[in-house]
Structure 1
């Protein structure tokens, strides 16, 4: 057997594998001997079938199988030994005059090679990222919601500002008949809420679905309509008042602190506000981190220039899936996946050059931390180490879960690396401004 490589350019090569009869004939002979022992052919006792008949019936197919096995092993070993960083998979070149009737064979494979490049971690323009803070207004609003949640419901005879109303909404055309409880403040504008003021249980208020709420999606829950119907729904509504109530806010005292954060964990209003701020900002951190990862990813792709073996990759995509693609379909698929491929190459280089990797012990420790957090939510604050080990082993035994957690851990490692090595412009914003900035 002989293997040679011809470089077409820096990104494309052809590997040629020459196989002679001496490379495969002994393997074929051994397989045919085994066939002879096991073959059941009418007119011959088992194990006594003439070898000439076995060769005539099975010889060619066995030879083809053995040559293909030899070919795949040789190609795989060659790529490893030569340390060739290939993209996709080698593509066999079709020869019009190829025939399995010969004794010696020559096979050629096209290779698309990964480019060599340097990653630009310091673009001229710093990458804008955000630290989301919980401002005083957000904490004030959250405290009101908590005091409402733990407050006392008082039934009332007539509707006043700030009250809750339980209403049955009806419309025959859209077959709406839904009872919902909401605050007057939930309605868009003052006009709709004003219609309820002074009304008593059993009285009816005439409304229109259009403009009832700031967000039409609220109609799904309140009226029981579908998502499609909710958008632009414009029908009259008959709203019959079934119940009127007011929430008397819970006192901001030690009893409330204990209910929210556990007995003795918060001792006064200042600590209560500080804990709410800490918890809120921890939740916001996930969104800020995801935005940062996206922003750095886009910057790295934009500022790290290298060529790709485009023609090869399009040819590979045409045959790589379960269904073959036309040239045009393969081109479209490449255009959709090119950015992802570029970032994967950049991430692989950063990981290799900077020792950013995940060991099984890293993944298991990360999984155990994830499990401890979940258990704490259900009051299990100090689980045994052996219990954590058992649960982690079961979780990581699921291939999909192991992959998901591994990707999360790699993202965390990359984020820490980016914080230390990428030119970032960190801006502090509240959550409302973050949403406006990022999703404007």
Structure 2
């Protein structure tokens, strides 16, 4: 057995594996002898079949299988011993093999991961958004609570301030979206006036262009995809199914106790403080996700390195259940290149900063997840023994361990980026954040 490596360049190499008869013959002979002992061929006693017949019937298949075993085992050992950081798997160089010979030579192309560093301190244009709940949002939420706990009064005719239940439809665009609306959602007062005086069963037609103060609301009310909302200009019918007025609930201690527990909140100002705290905690996860997305885009833009593109396209042709054509592999490479680049960048960030997950990290994170889930079901103060028991059961499931490990690592990466990335902090309302999120 002789294995050699020829470096074509920094990213490509060819490994040549030379296999002699001595490398595979003992295994082939052993298997053929087993066939000989058990062979049942008409005209011969069991165990008395000539070896020539056994070789004729099984020899080539056994040879191919055993040579391949020797080849794969020694190729893997060689790659490990050379400490090669490969992209994809070795791709065999296609050539005709004469299986009637005793010695064989195989060649494999290798794609080698590039050497590079990731500079998290480099200049960038990343912004971390601190999303605040502004007065308008807090006042709207208080009124929403008053409506939610208020008294619903059915009405026959639409008047200003009433709530409507109905369905938006447009057959051509496939819109069929049930919705609860109030007339103040519309940007233009003329649109709202179309509904005044209407009754249950009436149909009001409105145009989507400029229907709301933010086109993204078309996603909420009409269930239109984000890519379709901008510039959408079609008529939609709203069929009125219910007309209701709401007698707002009084902002008193009885309502406060119902919302937050007895005596925990005693004024409207404290209600707003609670709403603000809860809202901004929820906004933080959205801000963190955008920050991660923006850091990812920045690192892809600023971290430069070459890839063994030709090799990877050959490898892509071979990895699926069905081989791809060169054209299909080209398209797949174009789709997956940024994902591969970021995997390499992420791996380098982990190595440079020695980021690792310990079992204690995993247990602590799982424990916090369990406590939050229990709180949602009213178990606000579970015992440590109860939590530990659930954690043990969760971590006995390998799929859950993988999912939670990914979440822990994502959190570690986020914290590292917050520490290392010199990002600007920008305070915005939620509405402003949505506009920033979609680049408008």
TM bin (shorter chain): 0.7 to 0.9
Pair 338,191 (structure 1): closer, same or farther in 2 beyond 3 Å = same
CA distance in 1, matches of 2:396, 2:377: 24
Pair 157,58 (structure 1): closer, same or farther in 2 beyond 3 Å = closer
Q: Do 2:168 and 2:222's aligned partners in 1 also have CA atoms closer than 8 Å?
A: no
- Map of 1:131 onto structure 2: 130
- Map of 1:224 onto structure 2: none
- Map of 2:235 onto structure 1: 234
- Map of 1:337 onto structure 2: 336
Deviations 1:98-133 (A, max 9, x none): 211111111111111111111121223342221111
- Map of 2:21 onto structure 1: 21
CA distance in 2, matches of 1:165, 1:332: 49
Deviations 1:323-351 (A, max 9, x none): 22222322222222221111111110111
Pair 301,54 (structure 1): closer, same or farther in 2 beyond 3 Å = same
1:12 aligns with 2:9: no
Q: CA deviation at 1:392?
A: 4.3
Q: CA deviation at 1:30?
A: 1.8
- Map of 1:208 onto structure 2: 205
Q: CA deviation at 1:87?
A: 0.5
Q: CA deviation at 1:381?
A: 2.5
Q: Do 1:317 and 1:334's aligned partners in 2 also have CA atoms closer than 8 Å?
A: yes
CA distance in 2, matches of 1:153, 1:65: 77
CA distance in 1, matches of 2:254, 2:337: 57
What's the secondary structure of 1:89's corresponding residue?
coil
What's the secondary structure of 2:4's corresponding residue?
strand
What's the secondary structure of 2:277's corresponding residue?
helix
Structure 1 unaligned segments of length 5 or more: list them: 222-226
Q: Do 1:195 and 1:205's aligned partners in 2 also have CA atoms closer than 8 Å?
A: no
CA distance in 2, matches of 1:325, 1:128: 41
- Map of 1:35 onto structure 2: 35
CA distance in 2, matches of 1:151, 1:105: 85
Q: CA deviation at 1:278?
A: 1.4
TM-score computed with the length of structure 2 as normaliser: 0.85
Deviations 1:246-275 (A, max 9, x none): 212222233222322334443433332222
- Map of 1:89 onto structure 2: 89
Tell me the number of residue pairs that the alignment of Structure 1 and Structure 2 aligns: 428
Pair 69,147 (structure 1): closer, same or farther in 2 beyond 3 Å = same
Deviations 1:73-108 (A, max 9, x none): 111111112110000111111224x21111111111
Q: Any residues of structure 2 matched to 1:411-426 within 5 Å, and which?
A: 411-426=410-425
CA distance in 2, matches of 1:339, 1:178: 36
Deviations 1:38-78 (A, max 9, x none): 33333344444443432332122112111101111111111
Higher mean displacement: 204-213 or 376-385: 204-213
CA distance in 2, matches of 1:146, 1:251: 10
Q: CA deviation at 1:295?
A: 0.9
Q: CA RMSD in A?
A: 3.4
- Map of 1:295 onto structure 2: 294
Q: Any residues of structure 2 matched to 1:48-63 within 5 Å, and which?
A: 48-63=48-63
TM-score computed with the length of structure 1 as normaliser: 0.85
